[in-house]
Amino acid sequence: MTVITSCLVCQAAELERLMLVTEEGVAPQEFEHNFSYANTLLLVCQQCGSGILQKYSHDPSGNVEDDGWDMYWWYVLDLTDMQTIRQLLETCPTPQDPTCNCALHHLLRTSENVDGSIKHMTTPTSHADFARLTLAQDGDNSTLQLVHRDNII
């Protein structure tokens, strides 16, 4: 699994991994990897402050000619939402533990319904398609929601 190396918004090569949100299966260690694996990472651009939610799936049962075994999806969060997320991150005891039950891990895990909103890519690239997410609050509950599909870049 590769992590995108430059910001999808400003193309700066200054991304920092903030969190491992989810992780399932056995991480690929070699080319002929025969186990399924998926994870979700939260990254932040140190230059523009945008957040990037990267979803990755390795599925060796898929057709390599059609989709490949590795699939990536990217979602961008704006500065305002990232300020809220950074505040929640301060209360997370273990940001790199996908089994953490803090409020932020819970928020990002329960917002998993954004899959399928954009076409997947088979390798990370700074010019990849992405969708924008926004942090929606309903009383004490927060969720990530897709901004209108028209805003997919």
Domain limits for position 130 = 15-151
Overall average pLDDT of the 143-151 stretch: 62
What CA–CA distance (Å, rounded) separates 122 from 14? 22
Overall average pLDDT of the 8-23 stretch: 93
Residue 113 confidence (pLDDT): 57
Selection from 73, 143, 138, 43 nearest residue 103 by Cα: 143
Overall average pLDDT of the 48-73 stretch: 77
Task: Judge whether 133 and 94 are in contact, CB under 8 Å.
Answer: no
Residue 86 confidence (pLDDT): 94
Q: Is residue 137 part of a domain?
A: yes
> How many domains, in total, are found in the chain?
1
Q: pLDDT tier at 12 (50, 70, 90 boundaries)? A: very high
Q: Is residue 8 part of a domain?
A: no
Q: Is residue 10 part of a domain?
A: no
Strands across the sheet containing 51-58: 15-25, 37-45, 51-58, 70-77, 131-138, 141-146
Q: pLDDT tier at 26 (50, 70, 90 boundaries)? A: confident
pLDDT digits (tens, 9 = 90+) for 27-40: 766 555 667 888 99
